[in-house]
């Protein structure tokens, strides 16, 4: 869900609608497991404290964006292998479409949680668009190959 660990069993989330569902689900799981949870609304002592929490939260999102970018690179490398092997089948296209859909869902989730704008978010947006364009090109090659037979 993107919560920030503050210590043993203590987590922090920004107070925002993007986290409401995940928080409710977490509370349900804790109670179902016989545990106890206490949700507190906290406020920093001053602007410095708030900025520190914001920076820690953004650093967590930055780590997630970096991982997302790495997965996009792997996706493009996979497309490159399929192109090199001329593996232009509907089954391969379906597999690549599913992989891209997983990247799209992940991107939407990260974007929702990235309240303060992690530095790599714009690059991730561009990389996802590039992956989408690359899949369209691959799709064109698959359909062209199928129509030749």
SS (H, E, C) the chain: CCCEEEECCEEECCCCHHHHHHHHHHHHHHHHCCCCCCCCCCCCCCHHHHHHHHHHHHHHHHHHHHHHHHHHHHHHHHHHHHHHCCCCCHHHHHHHHHHHHHHHHHHHHHHHHCCCCCCCHHHHHHHHHHHHHHHHHHHHHHHHHHHHC
What are 32-66's pLDDT values in tens digits? Answer: 999 999 998 888 788 998 899 999 999 999 999 99
Answer whether 3's CB lies under 8 Å from 12's CB: yes
Residue 42: the pLDDT is: 82
pTM score: 0.87
Residue 44: the pLDDT is: 75
Q: Could you give phi then psi for residue 89, rounded to 5 degrees?
A: -120, 160
**β-bridge mates for residue 5, sequence order:** 11
Domains (ranges, CATH) in the chain? 1-42 (no CATH), 58-148 (1.20.58)
- pLDDT, averaged across the chain: 94
Mean pLDDT, range 10-18, rounded to an integer:
88
């Amino acid at each position: 869900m993107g919560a920030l660990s503050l210590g043993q069993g203590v987590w922090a989330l920004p107070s925002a609608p993007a986290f409401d569902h995940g928080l409710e689900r977490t509370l349900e799981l804790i109670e179902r497991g016989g545990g106890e949870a206490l949700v507190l609304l906290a406020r920093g002592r001053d602007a410095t404290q708030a900025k520190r929490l914001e920076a820690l939260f953004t650093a967590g999102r930055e780590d997630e964006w970096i991982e997302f970018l790495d997965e996009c690179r792997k996706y493009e490398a996979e497309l490159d292998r399929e192109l090199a092997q001329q593996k232009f089948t509907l089954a391969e296209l379906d597999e690549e479409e599913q992989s891209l859909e997983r990247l799209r869902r992940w991107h939407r989730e990260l974007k929702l949680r990235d309240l303060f704008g992690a530095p790599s978010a714009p690059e991730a947006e561009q990389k996802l668009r590039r992956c989408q364009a690359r899949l369209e090109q691959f799709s064109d090659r698959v359909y062209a190959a199928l129509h030749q037979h």
